[in-house]
Copies of this chain bind each other. A is one copy, B any other.
């Protein structure tokens, strides 16, 4: 893996260059074309990834067969089915590339092996799970405390990158509304 990649991994997760070098030796770079899956429901999902460059979405199907986006991820974000990762269950959702994307992928096995060599990586694992929880908690508060319009404004404030890279029809179900409603919300806000 070249030096540039190691640096980007380092930036992604704010650890030392040395540690990111070790990490990079235990994972791999995967390139995914637009609209290709990195993960599908029912498949093994015992690995996690960071987005080095690109954009992806994690979604489930509702009872009507509509895709509902649980997460929209861009540069520096983690992706993966964290539930499968920790429990060994099959994946419960899909992860698909919104544009051509480069991932750094590492398996559970590799992370666990690193943990045996250096307690740093046990700590690292804890931080990852804490991060996953905190993200989820923020999402719950966003959904409970704000209206769809406020949620959209929160997203505008929080991530220009998501707004620019990701089509509205995906953003809408992430916010819990239909694409038509998001279009009308944007119109309302314009004024």
Contact A140/B136 with A60-B145, A145-B60 known, Cβ cut-off 8 Å? yes
For chain A, which range describes its interface: under 10, 10 to 19, 20 to 34, or 35 or more residues? 20 to 34
What is the copy number of this chain in the assembly? 2
Q: Choose one: B133, B144, B173; the contact of A129 (CB below 8 Å).
A: B133
| SS class, residues of chain A in contact with chain B | helix
**Cα distance A60–B82 in the bound complex, in angstroms:** 27
**A68 B136 Cβ-Cβ under 8 A:** no
**Cα distance A6–B58 in the bound complex, in angstroms:** 42
A 61-97 binary contact with B (CB < 8 Å = 1; else 0): 0100000101000000000001100110000000000
Instruction: Output the least CB separation between A163 and chain B (Å).
Output: 19
Instruction: Output the least CB separation between A72 and chain B (Å).
Output: 13
**A83 B134 Cβ-Cβ under 8 A:** yes
A 102-143 binary contact with B (CB < 8 Å = 1; else 0): 000000000000000000001001100110111011011101
Interface centre among A83, A130, A144 (most CB of B within 10 A): A144
Contact A176/B126 with A133-B82, A133-B132 known, Cβ cut-off 8 Å? no
